[in-house]
Amino acid sequence: MSLSIVIPAYNEEERLGSTLARIVAYCDANEPGSEIVVVDDGSSDATLEVARATRFATGEIRILELGENRGKGAALSRGLALAAELGFSHALTLDADGQHDVRDVPRFLEASRANPAALVLGEPVFDDSVPTSRRLGRRISCVLVQVETWSRAIHDPLCGFRSIPVGPALDVLAAHRLGLRMEFDPELAVRMVAAGTPVVNLPTWVRYPVDGTSHFRLFRDNVRISWFHTRLLLRGVTRIPERIFARTVADG
């Protein structure tokens, strides 16, 4: 297994630096052959400068500039494609804003090494800082994904902290036109399960931003996610029999 760490970033000048510093410290000590890729999604602040200023033992952070804001899904798609071009088998993805606990990176990698064919999905453990509306939205998405996949393979379809086998992910992207924004994460997970990719669900602490800011837009992104669920439910494209239960490798 070879590792690329892919971080989509949009206007994260204040929080990207601390996230990268923690990841770089881990990679320098434990993953010297890894590649860290920041995909800048058309930021209008100093996000690019922060990424360029970060160094680690084996070289510079690799930066992929999209030029204009196209959405998290577009950034992740480009990051996965770049990981494949560079010859990496897996892409570990996490958010730039510090929500995800970098201390869990070793656990995700351990899970991937034990199950290299599996999609390792973060299963969020929240504190009381998460708004009730966000909790409710996640619960609804979880139920809908169970219906769409005819399984409980995916415990949380929305968490962006995950280790992705690059080949199966690119096969899905070649076969389907996925959404470009926040609906990308759940649709990629559902489509990969539908294609037969096994799943490992890994509980991980997720912290809502202290200042309460988020790039998730309550109305716009909920509409996009709802439309993604509606399409799958209406077309029945992921009708998988109960044998999918056996494809769930672990529950964390």
Tell me which CATH homologous superfamily contains domain 3-250.
Spore Coat Polysaccharide Biosynthesis Protein SpsA; Chain A (3.90.550.10)
Give pLDDT tens digits for 55-111: 776 667 899 999 899 999 999 999 999 999 999 999 999 999 999 999 999 999 999
Share the mean pLDDT of the chain. Answer: 85
Between strands 248-250 and 199-206, the pairing is parallel
CA-to-CA distance for 140 and 64, rounded, in angstroms? 34
Task: From 149, 237, 233, 238, select the one nearest 199 (Cα to Cα).
Answer: 149
CA-to-CA distance for 201 and 156, rounded, in angstroms? 8
Domain boundaries, the chain: 3-250
Give the pLDDT of residue 22.
92
pTM of the model: 0.84
Answer whether residue 251 shows pLDDT above 60: no
Interval 179-198 mean pLDDT: 91
Answer whether residue 197 shows pLDDT above 50: yes
Give pLDDT tens digits for 53-67: 987 766 678 999 998
